[in-house]
Amino acid sequence: MTQDRDELRRLHFINALFAHVTGKDLYLAKQIQSAIAFSLSELEAQVEADPGLAERYSEEFNASAARLLDRLYSALPRHGFFHWDASKSLYSGTPLFARAEVMAGLRHLAPFQESTLLITNLRPAVLPPERRETSRRKQEYTDLLTFLRELTAARSPAGGDTTLLFL
């Protein structure tokens, strides 16, 4: 049951992430999802043997989708793309460091009329799975999301189309 839910979540994730390619057609999104899953088939076999690796599979799936999206946008000369993986730094879950990373991304995207800013693994950076999700930590996460949305809206070029995605 959990595996089916994860597959459905990944399908909707791919459909949203690649909507400009799929036209929100779930069949085409399923094709992209299958291609990414095929590239991770060895890890998928390990997950079947040890269900404890399911979280690692999800992380690798998201990272593969981000790389594919980066390659796709790199081929479009008028569309900017920036990916920030919040799990890469010990302090990514703090507003100060998150602001610095997002500002670096927005500077990179400034010359483009259309751009996509992808932020991955922010939730695990603020709410680590090995620690309890207290109401204070949940509020910090919500506040950080709001802060990053407002920062992106305020610092994006006027008249530009910047898409902010959190995964």
1 pLDDT more than 60 = no
DSSP-assigned letters across all residues of 18-80: THHHHTT-HHHHHHHHHHHHHHTHHHHHHHHH-GGGHHHHHHHHHHHHHHHHHHHHHT-TTEE
Average pLDDT over residues 32-39: 84
Average pLDDT, the chain: 83
User: Please, what is the Cα angle at 10 between 9 and 12, to 5 degrees?
Assistant: 65
CA distance 2 to 50: 14
75 pLDDT more than 80:
no
Band (pLDDT 50/70/90 cuts) for residue 3 is: low
Phi, psi of 22 (to 5 degrees): -85, -20
Question: 149: how many CB neighbours lie within 10 A of its CB?
Answer: 12
Give the confidence band of 92 by pLDDT, cuts at 50, 70, 90: low
Tokens 């483009």, residue located = 112
Residue position matching structure tokens 């399923």? 30
Q: Indicate whether 154 pLDDT > 60.
A: yes
In angstroms, the CA 136 to CA 138 distance is: 5
AA letter at 116: T
Q: Which of 29, 36, 25, 31 is nearest to 13 (CA)?
A: 29
Q: Which region among 4-13, 112-121, 144-153 has the lowest average model confidence (pLDDT)?
A: 4-13
pTM, whole model, 2 decimals?
A: 0.77
Report the share of the chain in percent with pLDDT over 70. Answer: 96
- Which of these ranges, 19-28, 49-58, 138-147, has the smallest mean pLDDT? 49-58
Provide the token pair at 145.
């999301």
